[in-house]
Structure 1
Amino acid sequence: MKKMLINITKKSRSRIALIENQKLYNFDVEDVNHKRKKSSVYKGKIVHIVPSLEAVFVDYGTCKNGFLPFREISCEYFFNKNITKNRYNIKNVLKKGQECIVQVNKEERGNKCALLTTFISLAGSYIVLFPKNPGFLGISRKISGKYRNSIKKTLLLLKVPIEMGIIFRTASLGKSVEILQIDLMCQLQNWKKIKEAYQSNCSPCLIYQENNIIFRALRDYLYHDIQEVIVDDSKFLVCIYQYISLLGKSNFRDRIKLYTGTSSLFSYYQIESQINSIFQRNIILPSGGSITIDTLEALTAIDINSFRSNKGLDIEETALSTNLEAANEISRQLRLRDLGGLIVIDFIDMTAPLHKRLVINHFRKILKNDRARIQIGTISKFGLLEMSRQRLNSSMNKINRNFCSKCNRF
């Protein structure tokens, strides 16, 4: 049974845990004092044009200016509306001091500034609205070919403004036109508020704040497979009821329950130790093998060791069984830690090509449960697997934990 646990008893911090049969498979935490910038929308001002980078830097109201590539700038901001990006230099179509609506694609990390775009996207539970992409139609890559035609037929019944575009999320599959239209109307209303805020406020300023961690979880994860939503703050129940009604998910109301136990919610469900393991460098596998995870500036390195693994009749069988077991845990840790960017996995050496294919096929299969966009290569002759993963969240508590070599913990 899958459950969503919402812990908000600590007023300065909110935590969301998704569990299945008491095992944690997704976790997020948000500090009240750290407002999420990703997906938030700002009224910004161009402060520097850099032709050599084909980009501009935008002051959008934070300590560090954001980076806006030329390819992410809508033609509506060009002096001449008839020109195309392929024929003109950036300095000839934009000017310093020019105002624009920008959205944060990637939050700033370390020395890297935030990545911005003018092509706004507003996510609902089932549909993502693109107000500046006329006629654009996208369908989640996780929706297989046999269902894509039915999605396209549904599009014909939706009232989508011709100057806008949409993407159907995986959860839209099987939903009625009425539910999809409600979701679309919510995003159209958000876009109307953004335009009004842009007209009435001076730059730079925030004009649309992305939902907090609790509302994002209800929007992105509350579907038929979640049997219970358990929250430990009675004052927040009314807000949750109102929000799911706004999402068109009122049928989930009976699944939302208040936790009234004496121990903390996460302690009762015995997941605090699993959460603590997210910040540990080494993970011991049930067979006795281990995984070591090191996050560096350029990439994340994951090393697998057989250690005391007792599976398999010989060294080749032990390597195969340990790698398969490690693949399961790595896919879980990718979601829990929200590891993004380039990831290099050093599997235990296997000589048989069949065993390598078994591991890579198994890894691909279990990664399909991940919401993030993932690209995965093959195992090289050195036993290395390269992959990339989209970072979904940027919680301050996750990012700002550094590894301590003395205590061997984060």
Structure 2
Amino acid sequence: MKRMLVNAIQEEELRVAMVDGQKLYDLDIEVPSRSQKKANIYKGRITRIEPSLEAAFVDFGAERHGFLPLKEISRSYFRKTPEAGNRVNIRDVLSEGQEVIVQVDKEERGNKGAALTTFISLAGRFLVIMPNNPRAGGVSRRIGGDERNELREVIAQLEMPDGMGVIVRTAGVGRNIEELRWDRDYLVNIWEAISSAADRPAPFLIYQESNAIIRAMRDHLDTDVGEIQIDNKTVFTEARDFMQTVMPHNVHKLKLYEDEVPLFTRFQIESQIESAFSHAVRLPSGGSVVIDPTEALVSIDINSARATKGGDIEQTATNTNLEAADEIARQLRLRDIGGLIVIDFIDMSQTRNQREVENRLRDAVKQDRARVQIGRISRFGLMEMSRQRLRPSLGESSGMVCPRCNGQGTVRDVESLSLAILRLIGEESRKDRTAQIVAQ
């Protein structure tokens, strides 16, 4: 049975795990001291316009100003309507000091500020509404076939307010029109509250996205999830109140866990969570998957190590790669890795085996909520793929840069560093103006 487990005993960290039996398949860790801004809605003020970037910088109350590209600015904020066919100059349509309502589209990363948009989207249980983007909307890309056509007909009956777009989520499949209308009304009421709260001068936070528990129930609570166990009474009450309002038919699945044995220990998933922090992950056959995040991309290497499953080298490589494909899809979800990913599979000489590994990975990522694009295995044995960045990765939200190596992973050995110091001393001693050299 699939379960949602919520560990909220420690105030410093909230963990939500999705398990199938005792197999962990999704994880969300929220640290209150590192609050996430993605999907939050702010009233901000344009502080700088950069025509060369076709973007504006917005003070929305964060340490760094947000980045607002021209393509993410609603025409309702334009000072004048641009002439048809002419290229829009951002300086002509916006002005510094202008106030805008923005939503965080991408979190701050490194030295980059948050990416912003004025096209607001509000996610509910079955729908996502876009209150100021009537041309957007439709049916989730993950829904196909007859269900897609049926939902298009349902959208026509939803009677959305003027100027609003709507997307039906995968959870909306099979729901009747009344359930969808209820979700629509709930989201429209939120937008009306946001609009009325936006009268104050910028910058300030208008609307905060739900916490990890509410997000998990909204995004993961499908019919195949049989139980939700929470080990904290306050959090349990909060979850129950939300469910009674939004999904009363699921309240019976909610249970307060009060056993002395810790919740995650009971379901034997602590070691699986720890694997998400590891550099290398063991495979059942004895091989391993090594995951290395870099500035440009995430590299994943598959090692056969002690793997001997198979009659020959080709079969052993294929079997290890198939195991790795399943584990990679799982680790991408657990670690919430986004962006460009390059996988170095063990070399396989037969095209048939390469296609089998590609198909296994495609099947494994089907249950991923993030958008995933997968290429083919190249003649160098490399596969390129990309995964939508839903939130900061586990490493970014729970890790820190090593103060010893500054994130490089290595430091110079004693001999190399000593010789470098001696050369530097020699260089300084040859300068006429050097009176004394002190090495510390």
TM range (shorter): over 0.9
Deviations 1:35-65 (A, max 9, x none): 2200000000000100011001000001000
1:287–1:308 contact (8 Å) kept in structure 2: yes
The amino acid that maps onto 2:102 is: V
Post-superposition Cα deviations, 1:155-191, rounded to whole Å, max 9, x if no partner, equal 1221211211011111111011111111111111111
How many residue pairs get aligned? The number is: 405
Tell me how far 1:105 sits from its aligned partner.
0.4
Counterpart among 258, 271, 274 of residue 272 in structure 2: 274
Q: Which has the higher contact order (CA 8 A, sep 6+)?
A: 1
User: In the alignment, which residue of structure 2 is the partner of 1:223?
Assistant: 222
Instruction: Map 1:280-299; keep pairs closer than 5 Å.
Output: 280-299=278-297
Identity %: 49
Query: RMSD across aligned C-alpha pairs, in angstroms?
Result: 1.7
* Structure 1 Cα separation of the partners of residues 86 and 47 of structure 2: 23
- Aligned twin of 1:351: 349
Of the candidates 318, 321, 339, which is equivalent to residue 320 of structure 1? Answer: 318
Q: CA deviation at 1:245?
A: 2.2
Equivalent residue number for residue 145 of structure 1: 145
Q: Distance in 2 between matches of 1:236 and 1:367?
A: 31
Instruction: Show structure 1 runs of 4+ deviating over 4 A.
Output: 82-86, 395-398, 402-406
Secondary structure, counterpart of 1:243 in structure 2: helix
Shift of 1:203: 0.5
**Deviations, residues 369-399 of structure 1 (Å, cap 9, x unaligned):** 1000111111100000001101122267753
Contact 1:42 1:101 in 2 (8 A): yes
Change beyond 3 A, Cα 1:282–1:348 = same
Is the Cα contact below 8 Å between 2:4 and 2:229 reproduced in 1? Answer: yes
Secondary structure at the aligned position of 2:79 is classed as coil
**Matched-pair contact (CA < 8 Å) for 1:287–1:322:** yes
SS in 1 for 2:325: helix
Matched, 1:302 2:311: no
Contact preservation (8 Å) 1:125, 1:220: yes
Q: Tell whether 2:52 aligns with 1:16.
A: no
Letter in 1 for 2:108: E
Please give the residue correspondences for 1:6-405 in structure 2 after superposition, counting only pairs within 5 Å: 6-81=6-81, 83=83, 87-199=87-199, 201-247=200-246, 249-394=247-392, 398-402=396-400
Alpha-carbon deviation of 1:145? 2.2
Equivalent pair of 1:30/1:395 in contact (CA under 8 Å) = no
Q: Are 2:4 and 2:227, in contact at CA under 8 Å, matched by a contact in 1?
A: yes
Cα–Cα, structure 1 residues 48 and 235, in superposed 2: closer, same or farther, change >3 Å? same
Is the radius of gyration larger for structure 1 or structure 2? 2
Structure 1 residue ranges without an equivalent (≥5) = none
In structure 2, do the counterparts of structure 1 residues 321 and 397 end up closer, same or farther at CA, with 3 Å as the change threshold? Answer: closer
Partner of 2:413: none
Worse overlay, 82-91 or 324-333: 82-91
Structure 1 distance, partners of 2:401, 2:88, is 47
Q: CA deviation at 1:83?
A: 4.2
Secondary structure (helix, strand or coil) at the match of 1:343 reads strand
The AA in structure 1 aligned to 2:335 is R
Structure 1 residue matching 2:227: 3-state secondary structure: strand
CA positional deviation for 1:109: 0.8
Q: 1:196 and 1:213, CA in 2 relative to 1: closer, same or farther beyond 3 A? A: same
